[in-house]
Chains A and B, each alone.
Chain A
Amino acid sequence: QVQLVESGGGVVQPGRSLRLSCAASGFTFSSYTMHWVRQAPGKGLEWVAVISYDGSNKYNADSVKGRFTISRDNSKNTLYLQMNSLRAEDTAVYYCAREESGHENYYHYYYMDVWGKGTTVTVSS
């Protein structure tokens, strides 16, 4: 079945780096745009980054610009999030999500339809 499994979370000191992975299965990974979304403890969802199906287009939230890099390896069906210069406020559960799309007569629409269970990142000294 369609599945996303995140890994790579853990406890890291401020200023250090961490790389998250998201393994995809059950669908043609190379055909889909993918996202990272995070949720700080007791807080709401925050969009982090998106990457197009072929990796040619990437966008980040302002809160992580210059520090986080999204990438993918379609040969390994895996999405990544390289997180550098980590801060306490980056502490969160990080989810990967698949973007689906469709179209009506005169417009396209997009939405995140499949989510992983998340991996926890704690930034603390």
Chain B
Amino acid sequence: QSALTQPRSVSGSPGQSVTISCTGTSSDVGGYNSVSWFQQHPGKAPKLMIYDVSKRPSGVPDRFSGSKSGNTASLTISGLQAEDEADYYCCSYAGSFWVFGGGTKLTVL
């Protein structure tokens, strides 16, 4: 049950695109399509942004997209806005267990 690997921080200017990677193993990210992404603002509960690798829940802007290749999943945020500044976590089903990434702090410059 090792945490998924994410970069500790990424940054971008308004209007730009950023991509956050999430690397696991064949027992989690690579073995299932149950990869999801959460956004968390300080002091708030996590909010689901992407599920099933690339699906967006109702109400999530289409600026947010997800993908996966092998054992690495990615979250791309295009057209960065100030309100996108937050922590982002990937999450994967791993059989009977679940595992989260260590989190990535997105700074909008």
Contacts and interface: CB of A to CB of B under 8 A. Distances in A.
A27 interface: no
B46 A44 contact: no
Contacts of B45: 95, 115-118
B37 to A, nearest CB: 10
Interface of B: 1, 3, 32-34, 36, 38, 40, 44-48, 51-52, 57, 87, 89, 91, 93, 96-103
Interface residues of A, number: 25
A11 interface: no
Contacts of A63: 1
Given A44-B100, A47-B99, A61-B1, A113 B51 contact: yes
A59 B48 contact: no
Interface of A: 35, 37, 44-47, 50, 59, 61-63, 95, 100, 102, 104, 107, 109-113, 115-118
Secondary structure at the A interface, as helix, strand, loop or mixed, is strand
16 contacts: A37-B46, A44-B89, A44-B102, A47-B97, A50-B96, A62-B1, A63-B1, A95-B45, A104-B33, A107-B33, A109-B33, A109-B51, A109-B52, A111-B36, A112-B91, A117-B45
Contact of A111 (B40, B51, B101): B51
Nearest to A110: B34
B5 to A, nearest CB: 12
B52 A111 contact: yes
A119 B34 CA distance: 27
A53 to B, nearest CB: 15
A90 B44 CA distance: 19
B57 A113 contact: yes
B36 A112 contact: yes
A46 B100 CA distance: 6
A95 B46 contact: yes
Contacts of A37: 46, 100
